[in-house]
């Protein structure tokens, strides 16, 4: 299985972060069999600002591969996903996008237009590609800004409908659930970007969806990883 993680600042992470990509990679590698054969692919390997200071220095360089960027949303990734898929040949996309678009670039309807462009380009490069998409998750701006919260809710409604519409047997799309019991205080370090506990919850949302949709890996042992505070 060749996974390409696509996202914004919550996916790329910053210096010292483990990232949810790392948490998911470790979980799938521990699954053995087909799950253990997971390969992370993509054109980038660094954290924000080019840092290579991952929380676990033993995280292998090749497993750090991704397509994520600070301040990059559906708007940006829709223009580069085709080349990334052609060059790195993923069979599965794990996508966490939308918050940055709604916050700075496009409204809910415009953002859905870029979701459609993204999949047009991705499928032109690999018609059998499958994908798991995460809705916009709770964040501090939505907690304080009612119109922005309404845009997030509207986008998530449109995203669910678009996933249903674009899903095909040849190229299946699945909407992941909101991360379990998400708390801005516990699961983020600034109201948006995930803490260690948040990284585990994001990894669990993707891992559980992979398992439920395609019998990949096993359910994520979330309680085991979040029962006590995790190191940053």
Under DSSP, the state recorded for 106 is -
What are the boundaries of each domain within the chain? 2-223
Which CATH class, in words, describes the domain spanning 2-223?
alpha beta
Residue 232 has pLDDT above 90, yes or no: no
pTM of the predicted model as reported, rounded to 2 decimal places: 0.95
User: For residue 54, which of 41, 66, 38, 43 has the smallest C-alpha distance?
Assistant: 66
Taking a C-beta distance cutoff of 8 angstroms, is the pair 31, 67 a contact?
Answer: no
Nearest to 15 by CA among 201, 220, 209, 193: 193
Q: How far is CA 117 from CA 45, 61, 74, 112, 197, in A?
A: 25, 30, 9, 9, 33
Q: Give the whole-angstrom CA distance, residue 7 versus residue 49.
A: 15
Q: pLDDT for 156-199, tens place per residue?
A: 999 999 999 999 999 999 999 999 899 999 999 999 999 999 99
pLDDT, tens only, 50-65: 999 999 999 999 999 9
């Amino acid at each position: 299985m060749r996974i390409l993680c696509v996202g914004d600042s919550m996916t790329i992470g910053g210096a010292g972060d483990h990232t949810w990509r790392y948490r998911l990679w470790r979980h799938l590698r521990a699954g053995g069999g087909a799950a253990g054969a997971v390969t992370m692919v993509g054109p980038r390997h660094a954290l924000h600002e080019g840092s290579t200071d991952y929380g676990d220095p033993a995280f292998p360089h090749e497993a750090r591969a991704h397509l994520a960027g600070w301040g990059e949303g559906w708007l940006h990734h829709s223009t580069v996903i085709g080349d990334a898929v052609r060059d790195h040949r993923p069979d599965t996309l794990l996508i966490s996008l939308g918050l940055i678009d709604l916050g700075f670039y496009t409204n809910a309807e415009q953002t859905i237009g870029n979701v459609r462009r993204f999949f047009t380009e991705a499928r032109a490069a690999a018609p059998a590609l499958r994908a798991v998409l995460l809705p916009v998750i709770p964040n501090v701006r939505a907690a304080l800004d009612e119109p922005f919260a309404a845009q997030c809710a509207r986008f998530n409604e449109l995203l669910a409908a678009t996933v249903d519409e674009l899903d095909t047997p040849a190229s299946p799309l699945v909407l992941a659930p909101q991360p379990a019991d998400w708390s801005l205080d516990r699961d983020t370090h600034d109201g948006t970007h995930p803490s260690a506990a948040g990284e585990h919850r994001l990894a669990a949302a993707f891992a559980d969806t992979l398992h439920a949709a395609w019998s990949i890996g096993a359910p994520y042992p979330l309680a085991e990883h979040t029962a006590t505070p995790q190191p940053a």
